[in-house]
Chains A and B, each alone.
Chain A
Amino acid sequence: MTKETTNRQVQDLYPESDATTKRHLEGLANSISHFRTAVHHAAGQQASSLPIARQLERAAQRKRSAQRRIMLEWAVAMALCIAALVPATSYYHTHETRQQAQRQAQLLKQREADAALLDQVASELSESVPDSLQPLADMDADYTSNQTTVKETEKTNGRN
């Protein structure tokens, strides 16, 4: 491709450009033309000296090793997943067991507290006079004994 061809290709993209832009585009086309020459030259220097069969064989080997590498990567990824999953599961399991034990202990404590309360209520009910009414009961007993004494005194006085 000549510089003129490159210039034409560049100018084709800007059909309505003015004279100044055209000059700029010519400079750009010139640079691109040099670039093209340099790339062609660089690629020419790199031509492989291997026979074609050997080149294809190398490509096939690379393909096989790439496939093996992909499989290995998947295997490593799976192993990592499992390695991460086991402690996570273990932690979850331990955490769950601990929580369950705590819940059971709390339930047991609650039951014990309930039983103690029930025992207290039962013992209080079994008493003839509840503790809270004991002062009244004492007063009542005092009153009864006083009345008895008064009556006996009156009887004695009456007989006399």
Chain B
Amino acid sequence: MEQTVVSELPPLAREQAVLDLADFDEVVRLYRQRVFRFLLASLRDRETAENLTQDCFLRAYMARAHFRGDSSLSTWLLKIAMNLLRDHLRSKRLRFWTKTRETALDPIDVSDWVPDGRSSPEAELIARRQVGHVWQAVNQLPPKQRSVFVLRFVEEMELKEIAETTGMNPSTVKTHLYRALAAVRESMGGKL
């Protein structure tokens, strides 16, 4: 259900998807993980990602009557999360005196979470190092490029869905994605 694009469904299924929102517990259960993951990858801060996830579902709950089913629930929720993220980053920029949170994830933490199962300790070490490099590179991307990168490569969204979520043209999304990928590749020592 998470991957369903409501706009591509027949009218009856679309109505059903809209009605699904009435059972809000189910909506949270289905999409909470995805929203949280997007915010965590974008912010690198567990507590803020958790708070914004809750804010996202609160906002969705308050605005559920306005959901027309033009896009999937997932896209709609990620759009709300994206707006919250933008507001958060903007207010953080204004509140430059606030301290960096201690809960921020660092690259070592993330690379430590790479599941085991490698063929050798060397391969595991290389994988962890790669994750650390990508994590660091993604963190240095401008917010729009980072969001597009996360939506594409972490959330597996199609360019059209990313365009709907971010409110950009598909060609702009592609440009951001290309630049993000080039920046990640460059920071990892490669050339494109």
Give B162-192 interface residues, CB cut-off 8 Å to A. Answer: 174, 177-178, 181, 184-185, 188, 190-192
| Cα of A24 to Cα of B32 in the assembled complex, Å | 35
Q: Which residue of A lies closest to B150 (CB)?
A: A39
Q: Which residue of B lies closest to A42 (CB)?
A: B113
With A46-B46, A55-B28 known to touch, is A30 a contact of B58 (CB < 8 Å)?
no
Query: Does chain B have a CB within 8 A of A45?
Result: yes
| Cα of A60 to Cα of B59 in the assembled complex, Å | 9
| Cα of A5 to Cα of B111 in the assembled complex, Å | 21
Give the distance to chain B from A61, nearest Cβ to Cβ, in Å. 10
Q: Are A59 and B181 in contact (CB under 8 A)?
A: no
Inter-chain contact count A-B, CB under 8 Å?
111
Give B13-67 interface residues, CB cut-off 8 Å to A. Answer: 24-25, 28-29, 32-33, 36-37, 40-41, 46, 49-51, 53-55, 57-58, 61
Residues of A within 8 A of B104 (CB): none
Q: Are A63 and B55 in contact (CB under 8 A)?
A: yes
| Cα of A43 to Cα of B40 in the assembled complex, Å | 7
Give the distance to chain A from B155, nearest Cβ to Cβ, in Å. 9
Residues of A within 8 A of B174 (CB): 13
Residues of A within 8 A of B109 (CB): 42
Q: Which of A21, A28, A58 makes the CB contact (< 8 A) with B54? A: A58
| Cα of A27 to Cα of B33 in the assembled complex, Å | 28
Query: Does chain B have a CB within 8 A of A132?
Result: no
Count contacts on A: residues with CB < 8 A to the other chain: 37
Q: Which of A24, A35, A39, A60 makes the CB contact (< 8 A) with B58? A: A60
Q: Are A21 and B154 in contact (CB under 8 A)?
A: no
Determine the main DSSP class of A at the interface with B: helix
Residues of A within 8 A of B33 (CB): 43-44, 47
Give the distance to chain B from A1, nearest Cβ to Cβ, in Å. 5
Query: Does chain B have a CB within 8 A of A143?
Result: no
| Cα of A58 to Cα of B113 in the assembled complex, Å | 29
Residues of B within 8 A of A44 (CB): 33
With A36-B154, A42-B105 known to touch, is A63 a contact of B113 (CB < 8 Å)?
no
Q: Which residue of A lies closest to B40 (CB)?
A: A43
Give B127-165 interface residues, CB cut-off 8 Å to A. Answer: 127, 130-131, 133-135, 138, 152-154, 156
Q: Which residue of A lies closest to B59 (CB)?
A: A59
Q: Are B130 and A31 in contact (CB under 8 A)?
A: yes
Give the distance to chain A from B148, nearest Cβ to Cβ, in Å. 12
With A28-B188, A44-B33 known to touch, is A13 a contact of B181 (CB < 8 Å)?
yes
| Cα of A43 to Cα of B130 in the assembled complex, Å | 19
Give the distance to chain B from A138, nearest Cβ to Cβ, in Å. 91
Annotate A46-57 by CB proximity to B: 1 below 8 A, 0 otherwise.
111000100110
Give the distance to chain A from B41, nearest Cβ to Cβ, in Å. 5
Residues of A within 8 A of B40 (CB): 39, 42-43, 46
Q: Are A38 and B131 in contact (CB under 8 A)?
A: yes
The 4 lowest CB-CB distance pairs between A and B, nearest first, are A43-B37, A59-B58, A59-B54, A31-B130
Q: Give 9 new A-B contacts, CB below 8 A, not counting A48-B54, A52-B24.
A: A1-B156, A10-B181, A31-B131, A39-B40, A41-B114, A43-B40, A46-B49, A56-B58, A62-B55
